[in-house]
Amino acid sequence: MKIRSTTSIKSFARVYAEMTTRIYGKALLKNIQELDYLENYTFKGWISDKGCIAAIVNTALAFMDYRPGCIGFFEFENDPGASGQLINYAIEFLREKNCNYCIGPVNGDTWHKYRVTLAGPNGPVFMDNVNPDYYSAHFKANDFNCIADYVSLRIRRGHFEYDRLKRFRPKLEKQNISIRGFSSHDFEGDLKKIYSICVDSFKNNFLYTHVSFEDFRALYRGAESLIHPQYVLLAERNNIPVGFIFAIPNILYQQRKGLVIKTLAVSSDSAARGLGSYMTEMVHETAQQQGIEEIYHLLMLSSNVSTRIASRVSEVYRQYELYGKVI
């Protein structure tokens, strides 16, 4: 098996686009500039006729008392021997960079694609994590263990919750919190407000690292036409952003009207306590009025309180794992 390595992100991006086209029928990159954020990290990629992988050192990434590095952009045909060989190359590179723990798959940070979707009966929804069913087995064959697990939940029509709206509304008024739809006329301005909420809300999250606004903006490139203001809500207190919810129609399934809740974030301001549940129920109520048949809460860490709360009225739709091992 012929293997070549590269430290050129643009060169790797072109091969990655070709490899994902072969595996998924379409490239996971719209343009190679989407990987420009990797310039912030130490990077090396490997490519073979069976697949590709990258080793990435993000010095801001913290995991227990280890010095972690990542393997990402893991895309392979179903050949564990081939993927294992490139995994070993990546791990050796991480050792050379003084890392003693490997986490994967993570494309550099958790703002970008990470986790493995496990095999199951249900297909992906819009903005879901996708990969062939055998990826989990490739990691386990190389002695990786699960270090975090995630779920996507589905709530069917008839189980949408919004009975707390009236009870919580007086608190909003008392705290001077207002909620409005995302402004398509001021996309950049509202995106900056969402960014400020994210960096505050997520700063204590598992594997969190900071992201610049420029890199955050790149995550939403091309999303303007997909945003429905009634499903993307922004909460402000005295004109300061304190929470938002990002939901979008599930355009992958035309047979059933579905809605995907991708991100929910609330600031550390104590006045915003309970705001996340309130905005979620606002979206549920709007979905009910719009004839939505099912709502998906996407890619939630299984241990999160919000996951346990949502599970009362939902069913597990898809499951995911993230892997790690001492190196």
Instruction: Assign residue 33 the CATH number of its domain.
Output: 3.40.630
pLDDT at 4: 95
Answer yes or no: is 267 within a domain. yes
Residues 124 and 218 in one domain: no
CA distances (Å), 317 to each of 113, 170, 203, 307, in order?
19, 35, 27, 13
Answer yes or no: is 313 within a domain. no
pLDDT at 30: 86
Residues 182 and 210 in one domain: yes
Residues 180 and 133 in one domain: no
Range of the domain at 33: 3-148
Answer yes or no: is 130 within a domain. yes
The count of other CB atoms within 10 Å of the CB of residue 227 is 19
276 neighbors 243 (Cβ within 8 angstroms)? yes
Residues 57 and 28 in one domain: yes
Residues 20 and 131 in one domain: yes
pLDDT at 310: 58
Token pair in block for residue 144: 């990786």
pLDDT at 258: 96
Answer yes or no: is 182 within a domain. yes
Overall number of domains in the chain: 2
Distance of CA 109 to the CA centre of its chain: 10
Of the three residues 104, 122, 148, the one that is the final residue of a domain is 148
Residues 259 and 165 in one domain: yes
* 327 residues of the chain, pLDDT tens digit each: 799 999 999 999 999 999 999 999 999 998 899 999 999 999 999 999 999 999 999 999 999 999 999 999 999 999 999 999 999 999 999 999 999 999 999 999 999 999 999 999 999 999 999 999 999 999 999 999 999 999 999 999 988 888 888 888 888 888 899 999 999 899 999 999 999 999 999 999 999 999 999 999 999 887 888 899 999 999 999 989 999 999 999 988 777 899 999 999 999 888 788 899 899 999 999 999 999 999 999 999 987 756 555 556 789 999 999 999 999
pLDDT at 312: 66
Of the three residues 118, 148, 178, the one that is the final residue of a domain is 148
Residues 15 and 130 in one domain: yes
Answer yes or no: is 22 within a domain. yes
Token pair in block for residue 171: 């608190």
Nearest to 277 by CA among 172, 158, 126, 150: 172
Query: For residue 7, what are the contacts with CB-CB under 8 A and spacing of at least 6?
Result: 43, 44, 45
Answer yes or no: is 319 within a domain. no
Residues 144 and 240 in one domain: no
pLDDT at 306: 60
Which burial class, exposed, middle or buried, applies to 193 when counting CB atoms under 10 A from its CB (0-12, 13-18, 19+)? buried
pLDDT at 28: 92
Answer yes or no: is 222 within a domain. yes
Nearest to 297 by CA among 251, 262, 256: 262
CATH number for the domain harbouring residue 184: 3.40.630.30
| 116-117/258-266 β-pairing | unpaired
Of the three residues 113, 148, 183, the one that is the final residue of a domain is 148
Residues 165 and 143 in one domain: no
Residues 118 and 198 in one domain: no
Answer yes or no: is 129 within a domain. yes
Residues 204 and 103 in one domain: no
Angle, vertex CA 155, rays to CA 258 and CA 242, nearest 5? 85
Distance of CA 139 to the CA centre of its chain: 20
- Distance CA(13)–CA(36), nearest Å, equals 10
117 neighbors 86 (Cβ within 8 angstroms)? no
Whole-prediction pTM value? 0.93
Token pair in block for residue 112: 């970008």
Residues 71 and 175 in one domain: no
